[in-house]
């Protein structure tokens, strides 16, 4: 069981997983929302238990996805695509990431102009297989 929360504590969550390794997203939407770029693990949505949703607000970020943030502190917690059965979770909001590792960077063609990508990671211009869900990796 892993737990997590936003900065102010008005959103808390937990899940038994399975927890996906971490993928950073450099799309403009993630960059504006986070103020830099986002990095997320993910769990099956049915396995995600939001234990305090007092501050949680879902923002319709595009015609296929929503983002969950805290109205108390602005934390960028969740990203969920309408037709997918998992929820991406900001790695910085997870209490224990010791068994997770950064493995991929996606939407690299939209990256910011003031920083380099990380060497040694898989790079993609779109969603990775992991973002699409395990059912599409075959």
Partner 1 sequence: MNVKGKCECGAVRFEAEDVRETVHFCHCSQCRRTSGHQWAATRADNDKFRFISDETLKWYASSEIAKRGFCGTCGSSLFYQVNGADHIGIAAGCIDEPTGLVGGKHIFTASKGDYYDIADGLPQVKD
* CA-to-CA dists, residue 126 to 5, 17, 67, 92, angstroms: 28, 25, 18, 22
Chain positions 21 to 80 lying near partner 1, rule: CB under 8 A, are 22, 24, 29, 31-40, 57, 59, 61, 67, 69-77
- Name which of 50 and 102 has its Cβ closer to partner 1: 102
Q: Report the alpha-carbon distance of residue 25 to residue 124 in Å, rounded.
A: 10
Q: Report if residue 126 touches partner 1, rule: CB under 8 A.
A: no
* CA-to-CA dists, residue 38 to 91, 102, 137, angstroms: 8, 12, 23
- Name which of 82 and 135 has its Cβ closer to partner 1: 82
DSSP string, 49-94: EEEE-TTEEEEE-SSSEEEEEETTT--EEEEEETT-SEEEEEGGGB
- Name which of 28 and 49 has its Cβ closer to partner 1: 28
CB of 135: closest distance to partner 1 in angstroms? 25
Interacting residues with partner 1 (CB under 8 A) = 5-8, 22, 24, 29, 31-40, 57, 59, 61, 67, 69-77, 90-93, 97-98, 100-102, 112-116, 118-119
């Amino acid at each position: 069981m892993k737990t997590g929360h936003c900065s102010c504590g008005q959103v808390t969550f937990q899940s038994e997983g399975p927890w996906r390794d971490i993928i950073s997203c450099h799309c403009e939407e993630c960059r504006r929302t986070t103020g830099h770029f986002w990095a997320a693990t993910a769990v099956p949505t049915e396995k995600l238990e939001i234990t305090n949703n007092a501050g949680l607000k879902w923002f319709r970020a595009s015609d296929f996805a929503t983002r969950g943030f805290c109205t108390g502190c602005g934390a960028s917690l969740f990203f969920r695509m309408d037709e997918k059965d998992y929820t991406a979770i900001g790695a910085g909001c997870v209490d224990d990431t010791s068994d997770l590792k950064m493995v991929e960077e996606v939407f690299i063609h939209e990256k910011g102009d003031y920083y380099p990508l990380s060497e040694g990671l898989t790079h993609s211009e779109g969603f990775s297989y992991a973002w699409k869900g395990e059912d599409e990796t075959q």
